[in-house]
Structure 1
Amino acid sequence: MKLMYIAFLFIHLRVQICYGATDYDDDYSDDDEKPASPPPAQTNCNGVFLTYTFIERIKELPYLKNVSAQSWAFKSTATIVNTGLEEVKGWKIFIGFQHREILVSANNAVLVDGAGDFPANVSKGATLAGYPNADLQTSVDTAADYTKMSVQIDLTGTMFGMKEKSIPLPKSIRLVNDGWKCPKLTKYPTYMYSCCKQDPKYKKKSSTNKYAARQYGDVNFVYDVLKSYEGSYEAQVTIDNDNPLSCLSKWNLTWEWMRGEFIYSMRGAYTRKIDYSECIFGLQGQYLSGFDFSQAMNCEKTPVISDLPPDRANNSQVGLVPYCCRDGSLLSRVMDKNRARSIFQLRVYKIPPDVSKTVLYPPQRWNITTLVSAEYKCSQPVRVDPTEFPNSTGLDAKTYAVASWQVVCNMTKPVKKEAKCCVSYTAYYSDAAVPCSTCACGCDDLNTDKCNPDAKAMALPTDALLVPAENRTLKIKAYASLKHKEIPKRLPCPDNCGVSINWHIISDHKGGWTARITLFNWGDEPFKDWFVALQFKKAFPGYDSVYSLNATKLKSPKNTIFIQSLKGSEYLVGEVNGSSSGKPRIPGKQQSVIGFTKKNIQGLNVKKGDGFPSKVIFNGAECALPAHFPNAATRSSPVSYTAVVFLSIVTFLLLMTDHFR
């Protein structure tokens, strides 16, 4: 009985979704057959009906005896049908793949949330959004036109580790739009479905907008079509940095053209590759045979776009765009609201069948990267009401974009060993530095035959923090010998971070305490207009003052101290050569002392961890923190002078040993 029901349902989906809405019965014809009725589960669903159907899988080459390593090519379909009375704008579904799937293609949808282009590793699941049709209208508004109220997504890909006769289904499938809930799935051997309904507790904001309401994340893009012509249009891209702890340095923006578009010219920005050869040999050259491509800026499907330097701001050919030409720098609004926005404009050409001035599609799969900042995950473009602009003639009137889309990007929490900065701890009561974690910023570019990427970082003398990682080996060994610690054959790999921050407890007394923060730049490039944000779980209310830097207590995020340079010292310079040949390179450095009180803070214990920040953010990037705090037990004894002499002798002997080896 179940198999008959599944077969009936699959036939219905083929009729209703693959081929669109069926024709109605002709009351005057006896030959026409009545169309199949929807399956009971869909008929009884007042919301959004989701299905996933496994079709087939074929063993891929090479054939392996190891079942877990064998790959299989699979085909499946996912459908989404609006069976309710309210239009679903910007639909998104999550498919919880669980068999190490690699998705090779998906029609009528695009991957979002930073998954990238096909083929894509979706072993932890995939979020798909509608393209080119992002909205699902209702049956009432379309006279049951399934081409407008439903979508079928044909999926192909590769999966691993399945026995020959097993039928792999995903763990889950659900609608991820705000305000929707999907109950427990109903599963059959090759088929699963769910009826998603609106959450009655969700408070939807009242709006008179024709399109979706604008959302606000950490970094927000607006893609405005300003003018539309037959075969081309002019657009403007606005980038707003709206998170106080976000900062973009040397940003690079990428997106993907889905319908053969290409960039003819730009103002306020440029493409990293200026080349029109792909147009000549691509679809553009086939459809636009008489077009002069020699002046086109870029014909890549996925162009890389960068900001112009400040000296091009008033250039009549590429500049003269408001908020342009900041050399890829978007500051936090706490630092300068006017420098938290960037704008550039572009001329886009289209190819058939999209040449009509009314046919407009934004690029998809937006992504932005920076020099040292957080990683961002961006949404798909969502159609919003046209952007409003002041009238250029000075009249008390408004002008509007032809069409507007918004892309929202949010910062992600760094994965272990993939940070972009790290923190070390020191304190007056300990002669050992708690260093940054091993491979805190990754070890892909290190020779791990000479160092151990999995070993725990070894304690080191505090002065070792002042020299590059490659010059710390002798100091680490000498300190381990002094403390009678075992020295492994392969020392732990260094943190490998371009920026490191040391937090040092200077003093702790009854009325308050002080700390010193030191920033090190181990790279060649300087950081201009940098900032550091410190979050504390308990000590934040006691913040009192900072010296030689500028600090602000933020209302949001809570318990955060925002520190930036004073005017005239905006640069955290890069690493330079030592004072003489053979001397270690010297990092760029800035530091300051921060004072705290203990007034009205019960149970504050500086040494046990309350005196150390729970989160450190440099230029928007969350830094990796050490695994533990300095231990008072390592404090130097009264004969510390003897220990220092002994440490120097051991270091000298190690140097001589290495010299004559």
Structure 2
Amino acid sequence: AVVTIYNFQQYRHIQAPGWKLGWTWATKEVIWSMMGGETTEQGDCSRFKGNIPHCCNKHPTVVDLLPGTPYNQQIANCCKGGVLKSWAQDPATAASSFQLSVGQSGTTNKTVRVPVSFTLKAPGPGYTCGPAKIVKPSRFVTPDGRRETQAMMTWNVTCTYSQFLAQEAPSCCVSFSSFYNDTIVPCSKCACGCQNTSQPGSCVDYTPLVRCTSHMCPVRVHWHIKLNYKEYWRVKITITNFNYNMNYTQWNLVVQHPNFDNLTQSFSFNYKSITPYTAINDTAMLWGIKFYNDMLLEAGPLGNVQSELLFRKDKATFTFEEGWAFPKSIYFNGDNCVMPTPNVYPGLPNASSHQLTSALGLLVTLLAAMALLFGHA
């Protein structure tokens, strides 16, 4: 049998140490041999003499083989260490396969029993798998294209992800700043957790080990409105890693902003429009350039990546007022980041003067009305 895992998620990849796929055999099946993957435990094979199966465990867990595996142990789409890119980043590397030879099972599509209780860890919790559903048998075309073969049986298992199951607290936050206001809006206090005040000199009491900050988030995304031109405006994005124990490989960022339909250039990030609403192009996916900034290093002087975006102004919609120039939502590696509340967004420098002018205007109006009343008295 050949098992293939497809990552159809647009902007959530599976990073090192990679996926782990588990299931429960329906009867007393064993795995005689494998290619492209291996089980984490062999189990009790004492009932076999001579040839020993690869795995006798009723609840096997399979992992991908590492890069550099000998060719005679490989099959197509294997041996990536369990790392899968997101579908939007690179569909060609968003699949992983392994092959296994099953014994003590049925020999026809009437006697083969479908495994149950599938689990997927990638690499931790968060995925929930449904039951296996029998579908039309897969078909295979020979390399010369002249012959087609058919599998005896094929079944599909769908696994869905929940950020709430994966982690108790958010994993990233967003901060804002602009050239027209000296105010820097930091990440919300306790956005991902609060400092530990019970032990003097220490503010970290949970995993992952992150730098001591007011927000306690492993990752911060900073959006800075940098420059304003006649027909364009410019933004700088900085992603900072506060996690001391993790490098984020093949990271990605999803940003929702109404001006992405007029994005002119992304200077040092890859860009792809996601367009979840078909006709509305307001969502962009950004990720690092290979061998340049596709790895966000652990917390420290080098633990950040940054780029600038150049937008063309649409005269019908563009404005710096009321926080329009700031993103509506941001996702890092598929997880929703905690945004600042709209009431603290950096405002235009003349916003307070407008309020003062309005207040003075109201006062003058009241005084004039009182004078008019006294004049008639």
Of the candidates 250, 256, 262, which is equivalent to residue 529 of structure 1?
250
- The answer to whether residue 24 in structure 2 is matched with residue 256 in structure 1 is yes
Q: Secondary structure at the match of 1:625?
A: coil
- The 3 A distance-change label for structure 1 pair 528 and 632 is closer
Q: Secondary structure at the match of 2:68?
A: helix
- The 3 A distance-change label for structure 1 pair 260 and 610 is farther
Q: Secondary structure at the match of 1:539?
A: helix
Of the candidates 91, 102, 117, which is equivalent to residue 348 of structure 1?
102
- The answer to whether residue 308 in structure 2 is matched with residue 593 in structure 1 is yes
- The 3 A distance-change label for structure 1 pair 447 and 349 is farther
Question: Does the CA-based 8 Å contact 1:430-1:630 persist in structure 2?
Answer: no
Q: Secondary structure at the match of 1:310?
A: coil
Structure 1 residue 324 displacement after superposition? 0.8
Match in the other structure for 2:71: 315
- In 2, Cα distance between equivalents of 1:259 and 1:545: 57
Question: Does the CA-based 8 Å contact 1:264-1:348 persist in structure 2?
Answer: yes
Match in the other structure for 2:6: 240
- The 3 A distance-change label for structure 1 pair 607 and 562 is same
Q: Secondary structure at the match of 2:3?
A: strand
- The answer to whether residue 157 in structure 2 is matched with residue 400 in structure 1 is no
TM-superposition CA deviations, 1:587-613 (whole Å, max 9, x none): 5211001122321442x4445332222
Structure 1 residue 298 displacement after superposition? 3.2
Structure 1 residue 325 displacement after superposition? 0.9
Question: Does the CA-based 8 Å contact 2:7-2:85 persist in structure 1?
Answer: yes
Question: Does the CA-based 8 Å contact 2:41-2:61 persist in structure 1?
Answer: no
Match in the other structure for 1:275: 42
TM-superposition CA deviations, 1:462-521 (whole Å, max 9, x none): xxxxxx632x5xxxxxxxxxxxxxxxxxxx6x4342x33222222356644322111223
Structure 1 residue 331 displacement after superposition? 1.5
Question: Does the CA-based 8 Å contact 1:542-1:601 persist in structure 2?
Answer: no
Match in the other structure for 2:54: 297
- In 1, Cα distance between equivalents of 2:189 and 2:51: 52
Of the candidates 543, 557, 571, which is equivalent to residue 294 of structure 2?
571
Provide TM-score, normalisation by structure 1: 0.45
Question: Does the CA-based 8 Å contact 1:276-1:293 persist in structure 2?
Answer: no
Of the candidates 187, 209, 220, which is equivalent to residue 435 of structure 1?
187
| Paired AA for residue 10 in structure 2 | P
- Give the CA RMSD over aligned residues: 3.2
Match in the other structure for 1:562: 285
Of the candidates 173, 182, 198, which is equivalent to residue 449 of structure 1?
198
TM-superposition CA deviations, 1:388-446 (whole Å, max 9, x none): 11136x36111111100011233435479533333333333143332155252x67xx8
- In 2, Cα distance between equivalents of 1:302 and 1:628: 50
Match in the other structure for 1:198: none
| Paired AA for residue 250 in structure 2 | D
- Aligned residue runs from structure 1 range 110-509, under 5 A: 235-249=1-15, 250-271=18-39, 273-277=40-44, 279-280=45-46, 289=47, 291-292=48-49, 295-312=52-69, 314-316=70-72, 318-319=73-74, 321-350=75-104, 355=106, 357=108, 358-371=110-123, 375-391=126-142, 394=144, 396-412=146-162, 414=164, 417-428=168-179, 429-436=181-188, 438=190, 440=192, 447=196, 449-450=198-199, 469-470=211-212, 472=213, 494-497=215-218, 499-508=219-228
Match in the other structure for 2:272: 552
| Paired AA for residue 71 in structure 2 | N
- In 2, Cα distance between equivalents of 1:501 and 1:344: 37
Question: Does the CA-based 8 Å contact 1:507-1:513 persist in structure 2?
Answer: yes
| Paired AA for residue 83 in structure 2 | S
Q: Secondary structure at the match of 1:533?
A: strand
Provide TM-score, normalisation by structure 2: 0.75
- In 1, Cα distance between equivalents of 2:175 and 2:35: 44
Question: Does the CA-based 8 Å contact 1:540-1:559 persist in structure 2?
Answer: yes
Question: Does the CA-based 8 Å contact 1:432-1:630 persist in structure 2?
Answer: no
Question: Does the CA-based 8 Å contact 2:323-2:346 persist in structure 1?
Answer: no
Question: Does the CA-based 8 Å contact 2:256-2:328 persist in structure 1?
Answer: yes
- The 3 A distance-change label for structure 1 pair 345 and 611 is same
Structure 1 residue 342 displacement after superposition? 1.2
Of the candidates 327, 332, 351, which is equivalent to residue 613 of structure 1?
327
- The 3 A distance-change label for structure 1 pair 413 and 293 is farther
Question: Does the CA-based 8 Å contact 2:170-2:217 persist in structure 1?
Answer: no
- In 2, Cα distance between equivalents of 1:433 and 1:565: 25
Structure 1 residue 311 displacement after superposition? 0.4
- The 3 A distance-change label for structure 1 pair 355 and 384 is closer
Match in the other structure for 2:362: none
| Paired AA for residue 221 in structure 2 | I
Relative contact order higher in (CA < 8 Å, ≥ 6 apart): 2
- In 2, Cα distance between equivalents of 1:598 and 1:395: 52
- In 1, Cα distance between equivalents of 2:247 and 2:87: 21
Q: Secondary structure at the match of 2:261?
A: helix
Question: Does the CA-based 8 Å contact 1:434-1:628 persist in structure 2?
Answer: no
Structure 1 residue 548 displacement after superposition? 1.8
TM-superposition CA deviations, 1:548-569 (whole Å, max 9, x none): 2222223446522121222431
- The 3 A distance-change label for structure 1 pair 573 and 561 is closer
Question: Does the CA-based 8 Å contact 1:530-1:570 persist in structure 2?
Answer: no
Structure 1 residue 573 displacement after superposition? 4.1
- In 1, Cα distance between equivalents of 2:63 and 2:93: 16
Ranges in structure 2 where 5+ consecutive residues have no aligned partner = 201-209, 350-377
Question: Does the CA-based 8 Å contact 2:177-2:346 persist in structure 1?
Answer: no
Structure 1 residue 447 displacement after superposition? 4.7
Ranges in structure 1 where 5+ consecutive residues have no aligned partner = 1-234, 281-288, 452-467, 473-491, 577-584, 636-661
Question: Does the CA-based 8 Å contact 1:437-1:627 persist in structure 2?
Answer: no
| Paired AA for residue 295 in structure 1 | I
- In 2, Cα distance between equivalents of 1:592 and 1:302: 46
Question: Does the CA-based 8 Å contact 2:190-2:216 persist in structure 1?
Answer: yes
TM-superposition CA deviations, 1:300-331 (whole Å, max 9, x none): 4433322212201x431x32x01111122222
- The 3 A distance-change label for structure 1 pair 450 and 401 is same
Q: Secondary structure at the match of 1:311?
A: coil
Q: Secondary structure at the match of 1:592?
A: strand
